[in-house]
Chain A
Amino acid sequence: MVIKNSWEGLKNGLVPMLGKEMRGRSRGWRSPVLLSFYLGILIAGVILFLWLSFERMNFIMPQIGLILYSLFIFGLIMLISFIAPAIAAGAISGERERRTYDLLMVTKASLTGIVLGKWLASVIYLLFLAVTALPVFAVVFLFGGVPPAALGLVFVVCLAVGLGYGALGLALSAILKRTQAATIISLIVVFILIFGVPVLAGIIINSQPPGFMTGPPDMPGVRLTGPPWYVFLSPVIAFTSVLPGTGGYDRNWGIPLVSEFMNMIIRAVGMEQMGQGDHAAYKVGSVYAGMKETEPEGLAAWPPWARFTLYQGGLTILSLITAVLVIAPLKPWTIWRTRRSRRKG
């Protein structure tokens, strides 16, 4: 009975909310303008890059596909990282500002259903944006050189970024009550997660005295343990294992600026192994027993994109639970406390 009611409540929240949000997003002038702006930026970037390449070289470089690919991915992940929380940040606070919040709360829709509906609507919109970018992506394959598996990984990471940061924006929207505040704070938090975390990790690690990271007794002072766990909260670290031109892929073929930036971060956070700089980045957890390399175990063996995806999953669940608890007029513990006191009374 309880399961049936919960399922009904979930459906009553999720289905209408998803439908309403998607209908709302597809109406009016905002949606086509945003879409045109987004695609305009992507197309302009590609055209500018191709024009500069041909203008300077007068011939087509064999690695142009890879270079374009890395440029494109970097742009895409930045767009999704900042659009996802910005879209979701108005989801719940917007209901409060429009004064429709109370009307929703008194329906039979469960709070989980409402939150999931809002969240999925923003995620689907993001996916829609990603799909509309596919024709631009196709230019990469015109030049070749990018394995389809790498493209798959990129989409996994993009999805993790969209789900996680969308949920984060939603939670902040529930907590902060004002859309403007929620948007600004969520963008700041995302900026810190993307760039702040690896830079901060780099500063912390490099400011430590040599030898703080424990290694085998016969090799004191040698970095052997890999980077701290929290650097994998950043999608930039995740992309070291999927973006060409970084330590984790083929470091000679990336676009100079992005590759250099990535490699700088890799070095800073201690992901580069002794004499193993050209190895795949997911071997960062390698531990040496004497001079013999052994494969890392447990979470350390996971490639950066997988660890990032795992953490984003955690961020998503935590954010959604927070949002549900914050918007609940009657908190579960209040009901429990009342039940207990009534039983005693």
Chain B
Amino acid sequence: MIKVRGLKKNYGRVQALKGLDMDVPAGSIYGFIGQNGAGKTTALRILAGLLVPGQGLAEVAGWDIMLYPRAVQEAIGYMPDFFGVYDDLRVGEYLLFYASAYGIKGPRAGKLRDDLLELVELGDKREAFVDTLSRGMQQRLCLARALVHDPPVLLLDEPASGLDPLARVEMREILKELGQMGKTILVSSHILTELANLCTHIGMITEGALVRQGVLADLLNNTPVRKIVLRCACPTEKAVKFLEGWPGVEGINCQLHQVEFGLAGGLFQVAELLKELVNQEVPVTHFAPEEQTLEDTFVQLAGQTEV
């Protein structure tokens, strides 16, 4: 649904994007993660047609962003990281204004307004002035605004930033619901735990280039396991000897019946190692790889890039 190839963008001498390549499959919830200043917002603004790339190609819903900007605008709903509201408009009027800017008028616009307010749980705030809403409500209203023309693609830049935990959960549930409705969602964030519970796909950007992308589960499974705890029924000499000869095992720390070690491989490699330990007749009573988080994956990849 979104295809990016060799995208570059400079701000003066600063290179914000250094040849970004990215593929967002249709119907996926794609988490776009990276540190502050990694180039997430620049990439999203280019996709939204708000910035001109220095070089490269980007397509949204099959439309080249440089050649068919109007078609791209029709295909996307964009929510920036920082946004303002018209303080002299009521919530309902705000949505009607944007509906009208998308050419939706009359009774259809009224129904759309009510449906969207219902979706983002702001139905009871229709007559309230926009500036009286809390930050979380304004974020949800902005999301409703992005959905006003029913776009197949949503570009959301840090939609949960500045929200309290409850508001974050609400936002996450709404995004999940939108994902179930078949929308392709590209969501940038550096709150990785949020994305881990939401996304189907992940792309990691560091210093303007994508370092890893793919299905979230695969990415986690292939991340090196930092710590595995192995306990045996008898002293661990045999197990330690075996582990020392196993490729990728590092940092072995053994006690009487317990060994802790790291493994430069993902969960498939962990399963393989366990199988071999059992085959070698090591009396394994406990084998526990530390659960991998998106944060671990990102930190490791970011660390590799810095090196």
Contact = CB atoms under 8 A, between A and B. Distances in A.
Nearest to B50: A329
Contact of A107 (B51, B67, B73, B142): B73
A227 B67 CA distance: 50
Given A107-B98, A108-B103, A9 B70 contact: yes
Interface residues of A, number: 34
B98 A335 contact: no
B50 A11 contact: no
A19 B109 CA distance: 15
Contacts of B145: 103
Contact of A106 (B78, B85, B86, B88): B78
A23 B89 contact: yes
Given A16-B100, A28-B88, A334-B66, A108 B50 contact: no
B252 interface: no
Contact of B66 (A15, A17, A104, A338): A338
Given A103-B145, A108-B149, A13 B49 contact: no
B175 interface: no
Contact of A23 (B49, B73, B88, B102): B88
A63 interface: no
B103 A330 contact: no
Given A12-B100, A13-B101, A20 B50 contact: no
A24 interface: yes
Interface in A97-112: 98-100, 102-109
A8 interface: yes
B84 A99 contact: yes
A5 interface: yes
Contact of A102 (B50, B100, B149): B50
A13 B74 CA distance: 14
Q: Name the interface size band of chain B.
A: 20 to 34
A27 interface: yes
A288 to B, nearest CB: 59
Interface string B35-54: 00000000001001111100
B97 interface: yes
A19 B97 contact: yes
A329 B86 contact: no
B97 A103 contact: no
B40 to A, nearest CB: 15
A338 B97 contact: no
B82 interface: yes
B66 A105 contact: no
B66 A108 contact: no
Given A19-B97, A107-B101, A99 B86 contact: no
Contacts of A8: 103
B268 interface: no
A33 to B, nearest CB: 15
19 contacts: A11-B103, A12-B103, A13-B101, A16-B100, A20-B93, A28-B88, A99-B84, A100-B83, A100-B85, A100-B86, A102-B45, A102-B80, A103-B83, A106-B49, A108-B70, A108-B149, A109-B102, A334-B66, A338-B67
Interface of B: 45, 48-52, 64, 66-67, 69-70, 73-74, 76, 78, 80, 82-86, 88-89, 93, 97-98, 100-103, 142, 145, 149
Interface of A: 5, 8-9, 11-13, 15-17, 19-20, 23-24, 27-28, 98-100, 102-109, 329-331, 334-335, 338-339, 342
